[in-house]
Amino acid sequence: MSKVEALPPLREVIAQHELAARKSLGQNFLLDLNLTRKIARSAMPWTDATVVEIGPGPGGLTRALLLEGAPRVIAVERDDRCIAALQDVIAAADGRLVVHAGDALETDFAALAPPPWQVVANLPYNIATPLLLGWLAQAQNFTRITVLVQKEVAERLAAKPGGKTYGRLAVAAQWRAEVRMLFDIGPQAFVPAPKVTSTIVELTPRTKPLAEAEPAKLERVTAAAFNQRRKMLRAALKPLWPDADAKLGQAGIDPTRRAETLSIEEFCALARLM
Ligand code: SAM
């Protein structure tokens, strides 16, 4: 039995460190090691990157990453109670695990380990989207991102044109990465149980974005288009261009179409006209 396998059960760790879950920190813990090992395996094969886990909490997924052979893991956690609880995992990891105390939104990964990074995490639901958008803005530094998020967020990340869930998030994510939903995890797997189903989603950064565009311009075009998603583009894009009809014509896009029908390449064509 390895030192990690010999660690006390997570329920004991939680009781010993009085880790009552805090809603403000998006704490919903996974205690079933079979499940956390399944999540770790879904992130494999390990790339030649440092594995970064956000929010290790009491360490269920962290243990699984170590047991599934992740060569180097850096875990970023902002709850001091969890940092204390993780000390035994650090000791059992024989140098493969570093825990960084801090806010993941503010953490410069490069100060912890040189890129590339491979993220595997059960993300705090309240900051999942800003974290993902921040990573995608430097997508070349990530080999793969495998994260557990609310199913609704996974659907918005993976959405294809034509549906209700297709919007700014899908364009921002799929412009830079291939997005795949891997499997769902029901509320009962977590302590405490959240209200909604969660999904493991995988983002594999593209070597270069799907089509040429400046990020800020693409963001402005998609914001304008989807802010009024029921309107025809000729009306929705008026705030950007008084002569939206002409611009759409230049991009070869029928001005009577609606935002949700546009491909990412078409949004990029519009961004290039700005
Ligand atoms: N990985 C653990 C698991 O699967 O059982 C815990 C996951 S829980 C959904 C989210 C974790 O992220 C919590 O441990 C919480 O304290 C931590 N967290 C919340 N906000 C954070 C932030 N801004 N930076 C770093 N960690 C954060």
- What's the pLDDT score for residue 32? 96
Please tell me if the CB atom of residue 55 comes closer than 6 angstroms to any atom of ligand 1. yes
Please tell me if the CB atom of residue 194 comes closer than 6 angstroms to any atom of ligand 1. no
- What's the pLDDT score for residue 160? 98
Please tell me if the CB atom of residue 54 comes closer than 6 angstroms to any atom of ligand 1. yes
Mean pLDDT split into 10-residue runs, the chain, 274 residues: 96 96 96 97 95 98 98 97 98 98 97 97 96 96 98 98 96 98 98 97 97 97 96 97 96 98 98 96
CATH number of 215-271, picked from 3.90.1150.10, 1.10.8.100, 1.10.510.10, 3.40.50.300: 1.10.8.100
Which residue's alpha carbon is at the smallest distance from atom 27 of ligand 1? 55
Domain ranges (residues) in the chain: 10-205, 215-271
Give bridge partners of residue 258 from the DSSP assignment: 232
DSSP assignment of 116-151, as one string?
Answer: PEEEEEE--GGGHHHHHHHHHTTGGGEEEEEEEEEH
- What's the pLDDT score for residue 207? 93
Which residue's alpha carbon is at the smallest distance from atom 10 of ligand 1? 124
Q: Is 106 annotated as a binding residue?
A: no
- What's the pLDDT score for residue 153? 98
H-type alpha helices, 165-263: 168-176, 215-227, 233-236, 244-250
What is the Cα–Cα distance from 48 to 206, expressed in whole angstroms? Answer: 17
What is the Cα–Cα distance from 126 to 148, expressed in whole angstroms? Answer: 12
Identify each DSSP E strand in the chain by its residue range: 29-30, 50-54, 73-77, 97-101, 117-122, 142-150, 177-185, 190-191, 198-205
Indicate the class that CATH gives domain 10-205: alpha beta
Q: Is 227 annotated as a binding residue?
A: no
- Look-up of token digits 């070597």: 207
CA–CA–CA angle 169, 42, 71 (5° rounding)? 110
Please tell me if the CB atom of residue 27 comes closer than 6 angstroms to any atom of ligand 1. yes
pTM over 0.95: yes
Distance 94 CA to ligand 1 centre (A): 23
